[in-house]
Structure 1
């Protein structure tokens, strides 16, 4: 949360207003939300209708029955009174590593949005309690590795905090007991009431919240990759043929090509009849050292465009997930209906597609970096060494990029694959949304690592005499002066930090 006072408040009159932009801002501590009296009244009316239909003798999964393979066991009144809290206790089987604070807050905010859906039948008091946790910045310790069965395990950890028996994150990111933290924040444990525990455990609010943050992070990263590509292009003096505006097959690729042309020659007037940003660069076609740019340079722009479309696909899937019925059983038309909302198939597929696109960009970045070390292509000292033979230059930096990229390939496998059954066959297919989110997180971190390596090589080349347009050597202020060999890992740490907290 802000140290300069509470963040601005956003009034939510309709559930749709708690969209991915607001959820992302709440997760980062940039905004607070308040639910209007009218919205809470609608939630209360849905709650009353659900309770009326629950009052009969019909079996309702997880409410008056057990769950999973125990769904055939009917619960007596005493067991029903304890069931909703006990759902959290017995399913909080995860452990560290924990989600980061912003990620856990994103989960809570996305969970709040889905609990506002009429099919959930949640109470206004539960919604207010989630808001109180967010306002007090009491952050549940939620395992990153979520196991199977949708998000039951991580959501059980979040729900356990509400009833005062879970763990929360301290400021250092360590897990501590929730009860003292709740008390210190002026909050009391809040037991789950009829059906609320089931509603809290179902759906994919964790993957939804993580995808919201990852999509925003990826958009900033793609901007940085585009700038680094232009800088490498300049160091290599590569042919600008692949940047011709006529090669654009989509609006996304047209934007990428325009940006690359503008970055490489921002002051040149456009060629008459050409797309914006087509000047100067096209006038220099063929001016590079080689007749054709290396393949890695030629195919980077379309690969960036693929990633841009993949980000948009994730954002569209998030929007669908936020408005969908995620509860199971969901209260629909006076009945309790078993659903597929826990699986998150749509969002898992979109997130995995983005992971694959990013891993490919890491491969291309590693290839471009290798070309920068070739003196025959750049006209600079081999390996970008200021003292060839004595100093290794950037060759080992490239080896680091190679190692990172090779590791990333294992995270490109779609998380939809690998269905396994649990609960003695009652649940014969499991979904792995948190695994998809973890793979995407690894892909983002890995691409950023490779990008840092490329930017360091660009900087080294600039110091050794390459002509890099103003503004494209973006790391000069965060790395030491000089071109001699040093512990370049420290430089890379500084660059990665810069990239993480900069959007340009």
Structure 2
């Protein structure tokens, strides 16, 4: 059953974007927001009638900012703008990603700083609720408003663009007619208001940050299972040590790990246990805590974006004026996501190092490569996979938010490559799920070979793993299939639901 999310331009959350993107919620506009749209539209006409130059309204856009646009030409001007800006290429955003872009842009519009026709906001609401989703090319934006991508949303509003509708791709007007809707004729300032936004990038960011949070929840538990597989030290998790360091997310991570390991054999003394473990085991709270700090920064600043205006020009309702500005620059949260990608590369490195240690008898006192018997090869060649994935993650973690040219007659001389930052971070997370899946395979094998008493959550994690991948007892299975199955387990909610969320 779908819930309803009321958009007001001020309170949209990442979770709400995710729900709308997945088709789990419909949207409605708050009455106050609907009224603000009407008032801001009146102000646009008031200012234009006074002869005040307004970018994208009675003046052109880009290099053509000095060209006047007459009332008689306005419909053609907006049509021209949509067609000329529709130069995005490559694979289309998924239906979920496109829905996220639409709800983000719709909520931004409700801030009252755009002054577009209220009918456009209502039409975007109807498109979401009737599941008419614009086909948006994912490549081409330099990250100073996704104009080459969102122009395809504009074309859809006009009835000309292509849309996802009832498991098919059709021309928008066909879907509109089937649902009793009518295409929009774009008037003063409407075209610019639709396309001059970072909504595609922000929608992608919502998905990326949600996936990163889910990944880190799994990574914490898997690290605990690896510690049990190693016969490692819980001394590095002691509360006092982390309170002395004072980083909140480090303290939270260590507390979470202690909870997962409650009741584990690791709390029993063992003369064979070394005094200290390798740093890839000992420093998990510090590293994972740093990642969660980076994640919180990105989330906090993205949510500011979701509930504010990124429009140029910006309508100032309180001052009854309009001003040119640079609010379309999203660097604050783009840097947050790019930083998160670097942070996640450290998670990958630690995970790979733990898998290497778990395969070594010198650290585990178990069999080489965790073989069940002397005639089995087991997890020797699997090392190539996570080494390859980690190399790709390091490549993708390289910053690209500053790599742009001066465009539009040298007027648009900076950029952030926002969509590319989101896409590469998404790929980092995809690779990292493989890395963590292989670590989980190692940890589970080591735990079964050791046969000890495990923690409250780690025991359930092992049980969840064994529901997908049985103990590796002989070289008669295709490990590629096991890796894919375990990766899918981690990406779903099932692994966490059966382990930490069932405590």
Question: TM-score, normalising length from structure 2?
Answer: 0.90
After superposing the two structures, state which structure 1 stretch, 457-466 or 238-247, moved more. Answer: 457-466
User: In 1, are the aligned partners of 2:75 and 2:186 still within 8 Å (CA)?
Assistant: no
| Contact persistence 1:47–1:123 (CA under 8 A) | yes
2:94 to 100, 118, 131: 100
1:293/1:340 CA distance change after superposition, 3 Å: same
Unpaired segments ≥5 residues, structure 1: 269-279
Classify the secondary structure of the residue corresponding to 1:495: helix
What residue number does 2:260 align with? Answer: 263
For residues 187-207 of structure 1, what are the alpha-carbon distances to aligned partners after superposition, in whole Å with 9 as ceiling and x for unaligned? 332222210111122232222
Shift of 1:493: 1.4
Task: Work out whether residues 402 and 415 of structure 2, in 8 Å CA contact, stay in contact via their aligned partners in 1.
Answer: no
Aligned to 1:343: 329
Is 2:378 the counterpart of 1:393?
yes
Residues 240 and 284, structure 1, Cα contact 8 Å, conserved in 2? no
Counterpart CA distance in 2 for 1:287 and 1:354 is 40
Q: Structure 2 unaligned runs (5+)?
A: 497-503
Residue 409 of structure 1 deviates from its aligned partner by 1.1
Superposed, which structure 2 residues align to 1:409-420 within 5 Å?
Answer: 409-420=394-405
Partner of 1:160: 155
Per-residue Cα deviation, 1:458-497 (whole angstroms, up to 9, x for no partner): 2222343353542131311012454223211111211122
The corresponding residue for 1:499 is: 490
Q: Does 1:318 align with 2:302?
A: yes
3-state SS of paired residue (1:478): coil
CA-CA distance at 1:345 after TM superposition: 1.1
- The DSSP-based 3-state class of the residue aligned with 2:310 is coil
1:319-352 alpha-carbon deviations (Å, 9 max, x no partner): 2212333111112233332211222011111111
| d(CA) in 2 for partners of 1:286, 1:115 | 63
The SS at the match of 1:327 is coil
Aligned length: 483
1:303 maps to 287
Give 3-state SS (helix, strand or coil) of 1:423's partner. coil
CA distance, structure 1, for counterparts of residue 172 and residue 197 of structure 2: 24
User: 1:252 maps to what in 2?
Assistant: 249
Report the secondary structure of 2:409's partner residue.
Answer: helix
Mapping 1:355-504, distance limit 5 Å = 355-388=341-374, 391-467=376-452, 468-469=454-455, 470-473=459-462, 474-480=464-470, 482-485=472-475, 486-502=477-493, 504=496
- Name the residue aligned to 1:275: none
- State the match for 1:276 in structure 2: none
* Structure 1 residue 365: Cα displacement: 0.8
| Distance across 2 between alignment mates of 1:360 and 1:225 | 12
Separation in structure 2 between the aligned mates of residue 285 and residue 295 of structure 1, nearest angstrom: 21
CA distance in 2, matches of 1:171, 1:385: 51
Paired residue for 1:227, among 221, 226, 234?
A: 221
In the superposition, the TM-score normalised over structure 1's length comes to 0.90
The 8 Å contact of residues 307 and 354 in structure 1, kept in 2 or not, is answered as yes
Is the partner of 2:315 in helix, strand or coil? strand
CA contact (8 A) 1:349 1:415 kept: no
State the Cα distance separating 1:9 from its structure 2 match.
2.0
